[in-house]
Chains A and B, each alone.
Chain A
Amino acid sequence: MEIAKDCFYTKEHEWARIKGNTAYVGITDYAQASLGDITFVGLPKAGDAIKQTEFSATVESVKAASDVYAPLSGKVTAVNKDLAAHPELVNKSPYDKGYFFVMEFSNPGEKANLMDEAAYRSYVEGLSK
């Protein structure tokens, strides 16, 4: 299982790659592997306000639909349009081509609620025990 070094993580298996006050957001390799083949991604719109730990997107696999929560609070600035026709990018490239959206976050203090790579790795290892 791959865990990107340059991201921060939630317990619900979302990642945020933070640069300045923007963040790319997606779901982790662990999440895509548990979901299986992803067939649809429901994204927010640019301009939508989202809140840390609250609903931000939907991801559907053949067997189930799951909510994706915002890792930080702020405003969506762009979404990954490629996912409309190619949701399988989330399976193939969860930390790169399969990102969900880009956001501007408003409260840098919220970063403290996220895990770094090492903390997320031990969290996930704990789940499979």
Chain B
Amino acid sequence: MEALDTGTLKKTPLCETHVSMGAKMAPFGGWLMPIQYDGILAEHAHTRNEVSVFDICHMGEFLIEADPVSSGLDRVVTQTIVSMPIGSCRYGFILNEIGGILDDLIVYRMKDKSWMIVVNAATIASDEKHFLKNMTGKYSFKNVSDETGKLDVQGPKSKEILLSIFGDGINSLKYYTFKEFLLWGERCIVSRTGYTGELGYEIYIPASRVVELWNLLLKDKRVKPVGLGARDTLRLEIGYPLYGHDLDAMHTPLEASFDRFVDLTKDFIGKSALLEEKKNGLKENLISFKSETRRSPRNGFGIFLEGRRIGTVTSGSFSPSLSVGIGMGYVSEKLEIGAQITVKEGAVEIPATIVKKPFYNKTSL
């Protein structure tokens, strides 16, 4: 085994805590992150049945003060933001001129003209450039990624845990809404959002206090730390995409079947390319498939229909909840639900069936 060169990787404020708790660490998106503690299967099951905490400090946050229309902010993102209620959040994309996805992100409306945008870790710098290049007039933009800590608390018991820390205000949080809370005199944002399919929350707290919050959460024995390994199997079972795998600049939101996060009634960067694509038909489609065996499809495996290669797997894993292989991938043909495909790499051949997302739906969300 080669020694891991961790020198160039960024570290969250919790890095030493993870190591001292026995986590296996590995690079992810330029960061040294915990992949697992007790084991991916146990952590996965704990999140589905109890409540888990995830260190998500690597993700990026931008604070923007702007009129959404005159600043051009509304043109940068694909989702409707002008009519968003204050205290709500909304998922969507930023696109390039040809409709390719530069990132997926969540917009939080803090006040009438005050926004927080949460982006992927690996794309923080390029996203920042994209916003600055495309916004105009009077606005302010602050990349607060370094000073913002983020912990995700996910699982059927997450509400009880958050009530004990933040109080009754948690009760009225509906899916995709957020509130500000004071904890130790610090302003925190808690949104009812997540990447596991379970009832859950994402907490934003100053990075200087994130270790304390982590420790406070884990004081409750119902809460266990979970790494990015189980985060990946949890999100895949729900069919949530991972940027860089299922979403990228080579594919549009229409090809990814995420039309509902694209507001074609407004103007935005990449819109004309999407309209053109709608007229001419999609080049590729993101499909979801399930195998009948425990064997895992993997990222990069070929997708075959009647012996012809029609695409490539973008996410693939053993599904801990279903005990079979599941995956997603882009194919160049339109396939119906129930169609039979083969996923192949070398001597590995996995028969699979096209299914509807989510793969798993018995969640607490």
Contact = CB atoms under 8 A, between A and B. Distances in A.
B294 A65 contact: no
A42 interface: yes
A62 B295 contact: no
A58 B293 CA distance: 14
A80 to B, nearest CB: 15
Interface string B102-127: 00000000000000000000000000
A22 B24 CA distance: 37
A37 interface: yes
Nearest to B26: A63
Interface in A59-105: 60, 62-63, 65, 87-88, 91
14 contacts: A34-B1, A36-B40, A39-B318, A40-B296, A40-B318, A60-B296, A60-B318, A62-B41, A62-B233, A62-B296, A62-B318, A62-B320, A65-B296, A88-B41
A112 interface: no
A60 B295 contact: yes
Among the interface residues A37, A42, A65, A127, which one has the most CB atoms of the partner chain B within 10 A?
A37
Interface residues of A, number: 15
B323 to A, nearest CB: 8
Given A39-B294, A87-B294, A65 B348 contact: yes
Given A36-B36, A40-B293, A62-B318, 13 more contacts: A37-B39, A39-B318, A42-B295, A60-B296, A60-B318, A62-B233, A62-B296, A62-B320, A63-B35, A63-B40, A65-B296, A87-B294, A91-B39
A95 to B, nearest CB: 19
B344 interface: no
B103 to A, nearest CB: 25
A60 B41 CA distance: 13
Contacts of A34: 1
B317 interface: yes
B58 interface: no
A103 to B, nearest CB: 20
